[in-house]
Amino acid sequence: MLADVPPRPPVRPHYQRPLINTPFFERSRLLIETDSYVPWSGYSTPDVYSSVEQEYFAIRNAASLFDLTPMIKYRIAGPDAERYLNRLVTRDVSRLKVDCVAYTVWCNEFGHLIDDGTVFRFGTDEFRLCTAERQLDWLLDSAIGFDVLVEEVTEQIAALALQGPTSCAVLKALGLAGVETLKVFQLRQFRFANQPLMVSRTGFTGDLGYELWIAPEGALALWDGLMAAGATRGIRAIGYRAVEMARIEAGFILPNVDFISAAHTIRLNRETTPFEMGLDWVVALDKGHFNGRRALLEEKARGSRRRLLGIEIAGNKPAHNALVYDRHKGLRQVGEVRSALWSPTCKRNIALAMIEAPYFETLRQFWVDIYLHRELMWERRMERAWPVDRPFFAPQRRKATPALDR
Amino acid sequence: MTHRVDHLIVGAGHNGLACAIELARRGRSVLVLEAADRVGGAAVTREFASGFKVSAAAHLLHGLSEQRVRDLDLEKHGLRFSARRMATVALNESGPPVVFSNGAVRGVSSQDAAEFARFSRRMSRFARLLARVNDTLPFRVSFASWRDRIDALKLALRIRTLGRSDMRQLLRIAAMNAYDLVSDSFDSNLMKGTLGFDATLGAEHGARAPGTVLTLLHRWAGQVDSGALGIAQPAGGMGALTQAMARAAESAGARIRTGARVQRILVQGDRAAGVVLDSGETVEAGSVISNADPKTTFLDLLSREHLDTDFVRRVSRFRSKGLVAKLHLALDGLPGFNGVEATALGSRLLVSPCLDYLELAFNPSKYREVPARPALEITVPTVNDPGLAPAGRHVMSIHVMFVPYDLGADPVGARARLLNNVLETLERYSPGLSKRIIDSELLTPADLEREFRISGGHWHHGALALDQFFITRPVPGATRYATPLPGLYLCGAGCHPGGGVMAVAGRNAALKVIAGGA
């Protein structure tokens, strides 16, 4: 009998308690002033410690420490691991070198986005896939016919994002010699407090920064070590909302904000393709077949239905969820804003807006209908907007190697 | 060694051969590769005991249309029938049987007989509609083109033009279970048992499962379509049919090679480009048409990286485990059955005395057990076709319903129990039969899988059920014979309109290959 549906692992005990704490909870609970924890993939994580602005400026001006543990992590290993991943994701994994990381997306058969994430390569046959959402079912069904092991390892790894201009200096002070030579999207194995510590030069802020991966037993020691090493370098624990600001400046997209996973859409045409997200650069159409390739080729030939554009908007009022029109009078809706921010660093009113065809190509100016809720009263502003390049903020220090380490 | 042909057909089952005939007649170069040493797939005649031959899997034609026999020129290529319009005899353990023949029923109350006439007329009207659907290319539920919408509207219109009363009745019963429909209509247990049997033969559930009316209609459609052939038996067994088809294919210009097992389908530049044989030999082709079942085609012959996860996921969940076993008996003389005249022994004989019997026979299969009192479809092919056995001797060919693919922890014991239970049941209807048995052969679904290379051992390549039917058969993405991989087509029973030796899927597939497109 041929391959049956692969067996599923036993159910994780999440259902017994609605949310669990990360290994860093013992530290975050001492620092958090607002008690504003938010749910994230079954974990409870800080939204804001004290003030979003202070936390945001720690990312841009010093060093910030963000608990990344709830990010979903899968171990993918075995002789077919590379073939498996190459069929799963849109990028060419065969070109990903050992000890390197790649950002990628993956699609279903219609070329509709399921999720985005990062692939870490530890060896010829050993990978980690970090995703926004749990999708073991999809990953296991993708494994039918491949000699590959797919297992969720989220709980087995505690992770921290250390981001900001002084982050490299903090790591050096922690004792990670040579970390400044790590290039963007590279990873390296270190030892800390007699434990393996993996450091990757990756992040979600668009700044100089690192992500640190350690077994849960070493979590608190790592946190304490970083806080001590960063004490004179402006380190600050930050919550989710500060990261959200930084990621918009960096022009990164967020699932369920900038696009909806095809696994969740109910209504027709709510799905999104990589081309629509402006992610042409992660789609390796020439690498052979992968999930969604035939549909994406068709889209390439036919043209996309819409496209995510970085736009700048006049004024200083963030255009949250605003509708986008072609004229000031609001005659024809041509799109909507997905993510919006008054950028404190750029001093620009920026947004990611999904614009319908053909307007994403034909229009050089839009009008954005901004609603402001001020002391219980709605006010409305029609502001001029225009397309700009992404990322909105790209400091030279992000990619400079050796990294800024003072 | 490398050759090149226009169309390469994997498997010389009756659908593969029908497809080959249609393509070769249009001047295409066609090569059919068959793993076994003879053509025919699951429609073959072979020896099972010294001197005794039998149709090893399928043993009756239920829905081969006369028109198709003419179209394929099969009589010119040697096809003869040893029996046409065979009656169905519902065996009675102690008393006269109920006989279904030429659309009428005998051996029941006049009320039941009259009701059957009404029931039969209505079912035939629905079946005619279904028979036309069987011949058409299923529209895509995604409505990818206007053509799909038009086809869907046409179907809706056909249902509407049945008239208000028939339309309502069709929509009411289409997804219903046969148990309720039949119980509502008739009194005679034997009659109800027979209709329930026909609703579940080759399906995956008992007669109480929703959708079994559809399988009954499907069988009825085959009958309506078959015209004057009705339930028929080819002279020389089912193998004679496929032999005639092979000759027809060859005379049309197709080449057939047996003993040539395809190891994998070759893909070049995201297109099926040929096959590699077990021998290492490569055959290049403009398109590859697979008569193998969907699971074998997509999960075994094709490397998985050429298909999307969604599609593989659907294929791997295609329900394809057989639920019917086959028993062959070599007998030292003509068997008798209680209440059945010798002249009726060439009929299709059923052991399904009532609906509850059928349901009780089904229940154990859910728990990987064999039935204690199995439901049976029995033929004695040597009555109509004495050449299948030595003079004076006979062959009995039996479909045993509700035998699970997975026989649990002790398959050897289960086989022994099954054989014992079947023989015990037979003994009740045909006292003394056990003493006449010279030799026997039992093929469980797992054996059928091995012998005929059908994943799961299901003769229809996959259960005929509401969700694996017409516009969703075998799975979305391959419902129109074309598959997600350009240049690769399906033509077997796993496709619309499904199994039964009708050769419709093969013909439809050929037309689709010629028309091209998705």
Instruction: Work out the minimum CA distance from A84 to partner chain B, whole angstroms.
Output: 8
- Contact call for B309 and A88, based on CB within 8 A: yes
Is this model's pTM higher than 0.80 or not? yes
Determine the residue of chain A that is closest to B310 in CA distance.
A109
Instruction: Work out the minimum CA distance from A88 to partner chain B, whole angstroms.
Output: 8
- What is the number of CB-based contacts under 8 A between chain A and chain B? 61
Question: Between B226 and B67, where is the model more confident?
Answer: B67
A391 C-beta neighbours (distance < 10 Å), count: 17
Torsional class of A19: left (φ above 0), alpha (ψ -120 to 50), beta (otherwise): beta
Determine the residue of chain A that is closest to B294 in CA distance.
A2
A141 touches chain B (CB under 8 A): yes
* Beta carbons within 8 Å of A29's beta carbon, 6+ residues apart: none
Instruction: Work out the minimum CA distance from A3 to partner chain B, whole angstroms.
Output: 7
- Contact call for B270 and A144, based on CB within 8 A: no
Nearest to B351 by CA among B432, B465, B427: B427
Determine the residue of chain A that is closest to B268 in CA distance.
A288
Rounded Cα distance between B327 and B460, Å, is 18
Picking from B304, B405, B456, the nearest residue to A146 by CB comes out as B304
Instruction: Work out the minimum CA distance from B428 to partner chain A, whole angstroms.
Output: 36
- Contact call for B310 and A108, based on CB within 8 A: yes
Residue A199 is predicted with a pLDDT of 98
Nearest to A111 by CA among B271, B267, B310: B310
Determine the residue of chain B that is closest to A141 in CA distance.
B313
Q: Judge contact between B353 and B193, C-beta under 8 A.
A: yes
- Mutate one of B264, B305, B315 to test the A interface: name it (highest A CB count within 10 A): B305
Instruction: Work out the minimum CA distance from A288 to partner chain B, whole angstroms.
Output: 7
Give kind and range of the element (H or E) at residue A138. helix A136-142
- Contact call for B304 and A108, based on CB within 8 A: no
Rounded Cα distance between A355 and A374, Å, is 28
Is residue B203 pLDDT above 90, yes or no?
no
Q: Judge contact between A305 and A334, C-beta under 8 A.
A: no
- What is the residue-wise DSSP string for B418-486? HHHHHHHHHHHHSTTHHHHEEEEEEE-HHHHHHHHT-TTB-TTSS---GGGSGGGSS-TTSTBSB-SST
CATH homologous superfamily of A13-69+157-250: Probable tRNA modification gtpase trme; domain 1 (3.30.1360.120)
Determine the residue of chain A that is closest to B305 in CA distance.
A87
Backbone φ and ψ of B86, nearest 5°: -65, 140
Picking from A1, A2, A109, the nearest residue to B308 by CB comes out as A109
Q: Judge contact between B379 and B91, C-beta under 8 A.
A: no
A268 touches chain B (CB under 8 A): no
Mean pLDDT over the full length of chain B: 94
Determine the residue of chain A that is closest to B297 in CA distance.
A2
- Residues on chain B touching A293 (C-beta within 8 angstroms): 270
Show which of residues 293-332 on chain A sit within 8 Å of chain B, judged by CB atoms: 293-294
Q: Judge contact between A47 and A104, C-beta under 8 A.
A: no
Q: Which residues pair with A199 in a beta bridge?
A: A188, A212
- Mutate one of A113, A289, A296, A302 to test the B interface: name it (highest B CB count within 10 A): A289
Q: What's the pLDDT tens digit per position in B296-355?
A: 999 999 998 999 999 999 999 999 999 999 999 999 999 999 999 999 999 999 999 999
Show which of residues 93-112 on chain A sit within 8 Å of chain B, judged by CB atoms: 108-109
Determine the residue of chain B that is closest to A268 in CA distance.
B142
- Contact call for B310 and A109, based on CB within 8 A: yes
Considering Cα of A123, then A128, then A129, then A130, what sign does the dihedral take? negative
- Mutate one of A83, A144, A294 to test the B interface: name it (highest B CB count within 10 A): A144
Instruction: Work out the minimum CA distance from B292 to partner chain A, whole angstroms.
Output: 13
Q: Judge contact between B410 and B368, C-beta under 8 A.
A: no
- Contact call for B299 and A144, based on CB within 8 A: yes
Is residue B277 pLDDT above 90, yes or no?
yes
Instruction: Work out the minimum CA distance from B141 to partner chain A, whole angstroms.
Output: 14
Residue A168 is predicted with a pLDDT of 97
- Residues on chain A touching B313 (C-beta within 8 angstroms): 141, 144
The residues of B whose Cβ lies within 8 A of any Cβ of A are 270, 295-296, 299-300, 303-313, 316-317, 405, 449, 455-456, 477, 484
Rounded Cα distance between B494 and B315, Å, is 11
- Mutate one of B309, B312, B314, B455 to test the A interface: name it (highest A CB count within 10 A): B309
- What is the average per-residue pLDDT within B203-219? 91
Determine the residue of chain B that is closest to A108 in CA distance.
B310
Determine the residue of chain A that is closest to B303 in CA distance.
A145
The ranges assigned to domains in chain A are: 13-69+157-250, 305-388
- What is the average per-residue pLDDT within B69-76? 94
- Contact call for B300 and A2, based on CB within 8 A: yes
Backbone φ and ψ of A381, nearest 5°: -125, 130
Q: What's the pLDDT tens digit per position in A93-130?
A: 999 999 999 999 999 999 999 999 999 999 999 999 99
- Contact call for B305 and A294, based on CB within 8 A: no
Q: What's the pLDDT tens digit per position in A363-397?
A: 999 999 999 999 999 999 999 999 999 999 999 99
Rg over CA atoms, chain A: 22
Residue owning tokens 């190509």: A361
Q: What's the pLDDT tens digit per position in A51-98?
A: 999 999 999 999 999 999 999 999 999 999 999 999 999 999 999 999
- Contact call for B309 and A142, based on CB within 8 A: yes
A13-69+157-250 and A305-388 in the same fold:
no
Residue A1 is predicted with a pLDDT of 47
**Domain A305-388 -> CATH class:** mainly beta
- Residues on chain A touching B488 (C-beta within 8 angstroms): none
- What is the average per-residue pLDDT within B282-298? 97
Q: Judge contact between B182 and B207, C-beta under 8 A.
A: yes
Rounded Cα distance between B5 and B11, Å, is 16
A402 touches chain B (CB under 8 A): no
Q: What's the pLDDT tens digit per position in B90-121?
A: 999 999 999 999 889 999 999 999 999 999 99
A31 touches chain B (CB under 8 A): no
Q: Show the tokens assigned to B141.
A: 């539920």
Backbone φ and ψ of A387, nearest 5°: -70, 140
Q: Judge contact between A365 and A327, C-beta under 8 A.
A: no
Between the alpha carbon of residue A183 and those of residues A101, A165, A171, A402, the distances in Å are 11, 15, 15, 8
- Contact call for B455 and A145, based on CB within 8 A: no
pLDDT < 70 regions, chain A: 1-4, 13-14
Q: Is B154 exposed, middle or buried (0-12, 13-18, 19+ CB in 10 A)?
A: middle
* Beta carbons within 8 Å of B80's beta carbon, 6+ residues apart: B234, B235, B236, B240
Instruction: Work out the minimum CA distance from B318 to partner chain A, whole angstroms.
Output: 10
Residue % of chain A over a pLDDT of 70: 98
Instruction: Work out the minimum CA distance from A184 to partner chain B, whole angstroms.
Output: 30
A285 touches chain B (CB under 8 A): no
Nearest to A367 by CA among A315, A404, A406: A315
Residue B10 is predicted with a pLDDT of 98
Considering Cα of B37, then B38, then B42, then B44, what sign does the dihedral take? negative
A375 touches chain B (CB under 8 A): no
- Contact call for A291 and B456, based on CB within 8 A: no
Rounded Cα distance between A352 and A250, Å, is 11
Residue B136 is predicted with a pLDDT of 85
- Contact call for A144 and B484, based on CB within 8 A: no
- Contact call for A2 and B317, based on CB within 8 A: no
- Contact call for B312 and A293, based on CB within 8 A: no
Beta strand B52-55 with B272-277 is unpaired
Mean pLDDT over the full length of chain A: 95
- Contact call for B484 and A109, based on CB within 8 A: yes
Gap between the terminal Cα atoms of chain B:
32
- Contact call for B270 and A141, based on CB within 8 A: no
